[in-house]
Chain A
Amino acid sequence: MSKFLTAASSAPLNRRGFLAATGALTLATSLSACGGSGGSGGGASAKAVSQADIDKAMQTPTELTFWTWVPDIAKEVALFEKKYPAIKVKVVNAGQGTPQYTKLRTALKAGSGAPDMVQIEYQAIPTFTITNSLLDLRPHGAAALKNTFVDWTWGQVSGTNGEVWAIPQDTGPMGMLYRQDIFDEHGIAVPATWDEFAAAARKLHKADPDVYLTNLAANQVAAWHGLLWQAGAKPYVTSGKSDITISVDDAVSQKLGTYWGGLAKEGVIGVEPDFTDSWYAALNKGKYATWITAAWGPVFLSGSAKATAGKWRAAPLPQWDASKPSSGNWGGSTTAVIRSTKNAIAAAQFAQFLNSDPASAKMFATEQFFFPATKALLTDASFVGDAPAFYGGQKVNQIFADISSTVSSSFQWPPFLDQAATDWTETVGKSLADGADTARALGTWQSRLTTYAKKQGFTVHS
């Protein structure tokens, strides 16, 4: 969901809500300070919380604060409050993605004002575990949920020592949306491999110089990471707390760099930034014949390119090796509990209920049109059987559900993702935009990240 709601929820931090949240938290703090409430979990001991403690905490009147940018999430929250009437959850929209993380980091640093639970994307989890900001949910029974969720999502929320840092909420396995009408007009078959894709790109642009087969946004590191993921790259491998292997310039990366950099240099694909006015207009006006996107893409596109209804279809990503289909993930998020919470038990129960309770999880798929993270929903006929008219009646969810099972589970994120993203845009992204040497830019990215990581005290291997 990382980019999914950019347009929908661009509302900045509601200041009143923020202040109220801060106030509420202070109040909760002082209450628990005098009452010595049973909810104060005391933090990270891996000792399991007993059922009696959980029962007691869930019956103690408590107010929890939840930072999330999901629109209308109050409906799901209401399910939780109905089950546990003693607990009230205050929902605060503190911005989507990076702006929210920035606020969260500031609040954590300030020592007050942080929420109890927070919406967090998979790729941002290590950025917060490195600062010890998230609560390990194992003592709260989270490990039991392992088989509820798609395997690779569980890998994403698990720590190196088996900690459970968050509960998956939605996902973004990557696929390809394409314009059936443009493909038909130019006699292009849906490319099954990246070689076929490159040939189609050249053919299409030659036939119609105003149309490109696709746009690889030069600002979208998330797509690049997803493509790396598909190709089996392991750009960041952490072991222990301070050891990291950075290899964003290895053979797999070089293969991607040569491929995409070559197409960009030839000028047969677009490289304009995505989620901008110009990009929306381009999708509406048929400048791009495909959009390489994630499972949240279909719903997003049907909302923002209404002029092209009925013309789009979905397919898996083209493959490097057609005999071993694989995909990467782009976006999707989770619910994590902030370590400083005074109500660890209730907060942990909330995170688990919100995303694993069948009714709540289903609501995310039907109300917010999230692409599910639970195995049950990915085989639920009412979900995968949906055949939207925007895609000519194609069962788009089924296609992405199938893709989801091909996502590798061993991809890891660095504990300084924001820096990696900025450096990518200024090296690799820039080379794509300028038609410069992308393979070389990968080397620059590698050295910039290495320098940064060393300066931050990491032991860097490569």
Chain B
Amino acid sequence: MMTATTTASPKGRRRDGPSRPGRGGASRRRSAGPLFVAPFMVLFLLLFLAPLGYAAYLSLFQERLIGGTAFVGLDNYTQALTDPQFLHGVGRVALFFVIQVPLMLLLALLFALALDSGLLRLARVIRLGIFVPYAVPSVVASLMWGYLYGPDFGPFAQIARKVSLPVPDFLSDGWMLGSLANIVTWEFVGYNMIILYAALRTIPTELYEAAAMDGAGAWRIAWSIKIPALRPALLLTLLFSVIGSFQLFNEPKLLMNIAPDVISSSYTANLYAYTLAFTGQQVNYAATVSFLLGLVIVIASYAVLLTANRRRTP
């Protein structure tokens, strides 16, 4: 979204010179422009603006099982802003973001650098191996990890019992956020790694040669050339992660089946919106909560962009 501009090549070349005064050339170009943009605009309107507008509209009403629908203005918003379930949900995903995302991106960066260094044997196999979890649907991943986490017959528990260690309770209150973070990390490390790795491949090798001539080792090259060059790509992965974290839904929703007493129906803000709409039949309030969650994401993304940009231009 917002990243499109920041990550686009900064030195985009101008293909078209000064417009040639050919017959109708300029006007044809002018009429063709909107045509090219049209598919995007139509989809953007249909799939983004229209639902967004509809949600905003819905959020101003209240429909009740008895008594029908009434216009309530901003009542739903004032309710949501003091709703502990919503606030806790947002707080929880914020905490999740702060802990899980740096870890995941650091891992992705390390893997990308290791692959790019050319020192790994079987680089292709490893690259695929790290990426494969991303190809596993998150539903399947959650089911799989749910089984692995099991306190009775899960493999970790069984191993712990075999060697007479205390059984780790991955599905307890204290561990759950970490267990979820582990699943999400497992799923997305490879995805982020591929983005970073692709960015690494675009760095001109002359830079490395020059650095080597100056006596830089592999670590120094990574630190002084590769990582600075990765900034736009890192920012991109960071923004995706902001959005992903705040929308956390699949993993908690599925682990809810095996740990219903740890993961409540408002464990994450997104889950809360779902529960409101489909369990409580409070569609209007669900729209409000979703709208506010969207706002939180926009603010968080903007904050990330702002800090990153400030750092880039001291």
Contacts and interface: CB of A to CB of B under 8 A. Distances in A.
Given A276-B257, A457-B67, A426 B279 contact: no
Contacts of A130: 65-66
A130 B261 CA distance: 30
B275 interface: yes
A416 B150 CA distance: 32
Contacts of A102: 278
B65 A456 contact: yes
Contact of A277 (B66, B67, B147): B147
B260 A273 contact: yes
A3 interface: no
Interface size class of A (residues with CB under 8 A): 35 or more
A273 B265 contact: no
Contacts of B265: 422, 425-426
By secondary structure, the B interface counts as loop
B264 interface: yes
Interface in A415-462: 415-416, 418-419, 421-422, 425-426, 429-430, 432-434, 452, 455-458
B153 interface: yes
Given A105-B281, A131-B65, A416-B281, A281 B153 contact: yes
Nearest to A281: B153
Contacts of A282: 152-153
A418 B275 CA distance: 10
A278 B153 contact: yes
B258 interface: yes
A242 interface: yes
Contacts of A287: 152
Nearest to A280: B153
Contacts of B264: 426
A223 interface: no
Interface in B227-267: 257-261, 264-265
B261 A219 contact: yes
B279 A422 contact: yes
Interface in B115-165: 146-147, 150-154
Contacts of A452: 280
B279 A456 contact: no
A204 B296 CA distance: 53
Nearest to A242: B66
A432 to B, nearest CB: 8
Interface string B65-92: 1110000000000000000000000000
Given A273-B257, A276-B258, A458 B65 contact: yes
A307 to B, nearest CB: 13
B220 interface: no
Contacts of A272: 152
Contacts of A416: 65, 280-281
Contact of A419 (B67, B258, B279): B279
B64 interface: yes
Interface in B270-309: 275, 278-281
Interface residues of B, number: 23
A277 B153 contact: yes
A220 B146 CA distance: 19
B106 to A, nearest CB: 33
Interface in A271-300: 272-273, 276-278, 281-282, 285, 287
Interface in A388-419: 415-416, 418-419
Contacts of B64: 455-457
A218 B66 contact: no
Contacts of B152: 272, 278, 281-282, 287
A241 interface: yes
B168 to A, nearest CB: 15
A433 B173 CA distance: 11
Contacts of A421: 279
B300 to A, nearest CB: 28
B147 A425 contact: no
B280 A419 contact: yes
Nearest to A457: B66
A418 B280 CA distance: 7
B280 A241 contact: no
Interface string B192-222: 0000000000000000000000000000000
B260 A429 contact: yes
B261 A433 contact: yes
A433 B259 CA distance: 10
Given A457-B66, A458-B66, A278 B258 contact: yes
Residue from B67, B261, B278, B280 having most chain A Cβ neighbours under 10 A: B261
A450 to B, nearest CB: 14
Contact of A429 (B67, B151, B261): B261
Contacts of A241: 66
A111 to B, nearest CB: 15
A219 B65 contact: no
Given A429-B261, A430-B261, A418 B66 contact: no
Contacts of B275: 422
Given A130-B65, A281-B152, A287-B152, A418 B279 contact: yes
Nearest to A458: B66
Nearest to A131: B65
A416 B278 CA distance: 11
A208 to B, nearest CB: 15
A61 B214 CA distance: 87
Nearest to A271: B261
Interface in A90-144: 102, 105, 130-131
Contacts of A242: 66-67
Contacts of B154: 278
A457 B68 CA distance: 9
Contacts of B281: 105, 416, 418-419, 456
Interface of A: 102, 105, 130-131, 218-219, 241-242, 272-273, 276-278, 281-282, 285, 287, 415-416, 418-419, 421-422, 425-426, 429-430, 432-434, 452, 455-458
Given A273-B259, A278-B150, A278-B151, 18 more contacts: A130-B65, A218-B260, A219-B257, A273-B258, A277-B147, A281-B153, A285-B153, A287-B152, A416-B280, A416-B281, A419-B281, A422-B275, A425-B265, A430-B261, A433-B261, A456-B66, A457-B67, A458-B65
28 contacts: A105-B278, A218-B261, A241-B66, A273-B257, A273-B258, A273-B260, A277-B146, A278-B153, A281-B153, A282-B153, A285-B153, A415-B65, A416-B65, A419-B279, A419-B281, A422-B265, A422-B279, A422-B280, A426-B264, A426-B265, A429-B260, A429-B261, A432-B261, A434-B261, A455-B64, A456-B281, A457-B67, A458-B66
